[in-house]
Amino acid sequence: MGLIATIGKKEKKEIPSLDELIVMGNYKTMRNILITGGAGFIGSHVVRLFCRTYPDYRIYNLDKLTYAGNLENLKDVAAECPNYRFIKGDICDLDHMRRIFGEYGIDGVIHLAAESHVDRSIRDPFAFAQTNVLGTLSLLQAAREAWADDMEGKLFYHVSTDEVYGSLHEPGTFFVETTSYDPQSPYSASKASSDHFVRAFGNTYGLPVVVSNCSNNYGPNQFPEKLIPLFINNIRHGKPLPVYGTGENVRDWLYVIDHARAIDTIFHRGRVGETYNIGGFNEWRNIDLIRVMIRTADRLLGNPEGHSDGLITYVQDRAGHDLRYAIDSTKLHEELGWEPSLQFEEGIEKTIRWYLDNQEWLDNITSGAYERYYAEMYGNK
Ligand code: NAD
Ligand code: DAU
């Protein structure tokens, strides 16, 4: 099987209780939370978790609704949670960001809005610099101005990626929080730059910031340009599965809801100014993961074993394709007690089932129907 490295989690250390954290001043009590990119894959899970877990918070989901933003991801939240509000907007629009901080008394930010797909960054690097670097900068500036008189109790949480650390070549090595940045794609370069701006605002202006760097996420609601949902959809339609290069590249996969739980933990209990790596010690070579997906999807679709094996099609490699990512999340585990809730086998089956049970969601995206709907609703899309 394809699981090529699992290092044992360290023994759990004594985790401070909630009361102890409050006394230590480490449990934050923000109430008006701006979540950017909440209509996207990870953001929608974070919005749902926060709206349901903290009914006394007001959750503002700011999203530009690019091709990757889909309010369908949050229709249950919009229907059930009175503490939820959607704001259509672009993080690059500084005046709009200023108005949002003023109007809603924002005291906490969880910043996820970004261009997120490596292949798109290779085709159009400027779009990535615009949103990921300049957009983050305008959000930082708006926060800094709004909180200038009193930074106490405020927090700017920046959600980043393990890709900023570059590509691992030595077996058994991991990214830790002190690993030097070495981004290799326009996407990871733009995320690295945004991370630097966040820390610079912490250092220079005293903005209370925290950063997390997470490994590859999988789960429901991921846009079907990324490996896992793309391949599930293609298996469903009997279409080729384009494996880049030799399929030997390694990614470290984490269930999206476990990422959302980690964000919740760090947002409330993480130390200001710190960085936390998030990952589940769950590395897979792409080709092994693809074989598991084929086997599971064929079983769930009622196909005979091996039915979709022939769909595997080796194609030209991604330019500058990073060989291996692997996150060491020991700090998050030991300091704040977080650990993944799902084993990969359970998570991947749940995920494949979700896409097969939600074919309308996939079809709306692949047909572009959801984009046309928002264009009518909000214009200029
Ligand atoms: P996604 O592409 O699914 O969603 C991004 C969201 O941001 C979309 O809803 C989009 O409409 C919105 N957006 C884009 N540009 C915007 C702008 N200018 N103003 C306002 N909103 C805008 O991305 P995702 O996979 O959910 O990733 C979310 C964040 O997590 C990103 O910052 C990404 O770098 C980071 N991250 C992702 C992964 C992963 O595996 N997907 C892993 C680690 C970190
Ligand atoms: O590591 C975290 C990052 O994970 C996030 O920061 C990014 O936002 C997210 O997109 C993801 O980046 P990857 O490039 O690792 O994900 P992607 O799903 O695009 O590709 C996963 C692996 O599969 C990668 O090695 C490339 C390969 N691949 C991908 C696609 C889309 C293929 O072989 N064929 C494909 O068609």
Q: What is the pLDDT of residue 204?
A: 98
| Residue 11 in this model has a pLDDT that exceeds 80 | no
| pLDDT, position 372 | 78
pLDDT for residue 14 is more than 50: yes
* 3-class SS string, 138-169: HHHHHHHHHCCCCCCCCEEEEEEEHHHHCCCC
67 catalytic residue (yes or no): no
Report whether residue 42 contacts ligand 1, using a CB cutoff of 6 Å: yes
Q: Looking at residue 374, what is its pLDDT?
A: 76
Residue pointed to by tokens 């650390």? 165
124-159: pLDDT as tens digits: 999 999 999 999 999 999 999 999 999 999 999 999
pLDDT, residue 13, reads: 47
Find out whether the beta carbon of 90 lies less than 6 Å from any atom of ligand 1: yes
How large is the C-alpha radius of gyration of the chain?
Answer: 20
Neighbours of 56 (CB within 10 A): 6
- Active-site pick, 72, 115, 162, 328: 162
**Mean predicted lDDT score pLDDT of the chain:** 92
Residue 163, classed as helix, strand or coil, is: helix
The two three-digit tokens of residue 213, written as one number: 């760097």
pLDDT at residue 2, rounded to an integer: 36
| Residue range 42-74, pLDDT digits in tens | 999 999 999 999 999 999 999 999 999 999 999
Please tell me the residue having the least CA distance from ligand 2 atom 22: 227
Amino acid present at 354: W
Closest by CA position to 214, among listed 248, 173, 260, 156: 260
Residues of the chain with pLDDT > 90, as a percent, come to 88
pLDDT (tens digit per residue) in 251-268: 999 999 999 999 999 999
Residue 22 one-letter amino acid: I
Q: Per-residue pLDDT tens for 196-222? A: 999 999 999 999 999 999 999 999 999
Does the pLDDT of residue 17 top 80, yes or no?
no
Residue 24 backbone dihedrals phi, psi, to 5 degrees: -70, -5
Q: Judge if the beta carbon of residue 16 lies within 6 A of ligand 2.
A: no
Binding site membership of 242 for ligand 2 (Cβ less than 6 Å):
yes
Confidence of residue 115 (pLDDT cuts 50, 70, 90): very high
Q: In this structure, which residue's CA is closest to atom 14 in ligand 1?
A: 114
This prediction has a pTM of: 0.94
How far is residue 298's CA from residue 319's CA, in Å, rounded to a whole number?
Answer: 31
| pLDDT mean over 98-114 | 98
Going from the Cα of 151 to the center of ligand 2, the distance in angstroms, rounded, reads 37
pLDDT on residue 24: 52
What is the four-CA torsion angle of 265, 270, 275, 279, rounded to 10 degrees?
-20
User: What is the per-residue pLDDT across 307-364, written as a single tens digit (0 to 9) for each?
Assistant: 999 999 999 999 999 999 999 999 999 999 999 999 999 999 999 999 999 999 999 9
Q: What are the angstrom distances between the C-alpha of 63 and each of 47, 53, 193, 327?
A: 12, 21, 21, 28
Can you list the alpha helix ranges (DSSP code H) found in 178-271?
A: 186-205, 227-237, 256-269
CA–centroid distance, 360 to ligand 1, in Å, is: 22
Q: Which two tokens stand for residue 270?
A: 């993480």
Residue 296 has a pLDDT of 98
- Tell me if residue 374 is catalytic: no
Token duo for residue 256: 């999206």
Reported as half-sphere exposure (CB side, CA atoms, 13 A), residue 241 has a value of 26
Share of residues in the chain with pLDDT > 70 (%): 91
> Nearest C-alpha to atom 8 of ligand 2 is from which residue?
116
Q: What separation in Å is there between the alpha carbon of 315 and the centre of ligand 2?
A: 15
At residue 100, does pLDDT exceed 80? yes
Residue 9, pLDDT score: 40
- Ligand 1, atom 41: closest residue by C-alpha: 217
In angstroms, what is the span from residue 226 Cα to ligand 1's centroid?
12
Q: What single DSSP character describes residue 175?
A: B
Q: How far is the CA of 187 from the centre of ligand 2 (A)?
A: 11
- Active-site residue flag, 157: no
Ligand 1 site, residue 59, Cβ cutoff 6 A: no
**Confidence tier at 28 by pLDDT (50, 70, 90):** low
Atom of ligand 2 nearest to the CA of 188: 6
Residue 30, pLDDT above cutoff 90: no
Q: What is the pLDDT of residue 49?
A: 98
Q: Could you tell me the two tokens for 35?
A: 């979540």
Active-site entry in 60, 157, 187, 325: 187
CA of 194 from ligand 2 middle (Å) equals 20
> Quick count: other Cβ atoms within 10 Å of Cβ 60?
23
Residue nearest atom 32 of ligand 1, based on CA coordinates: 112
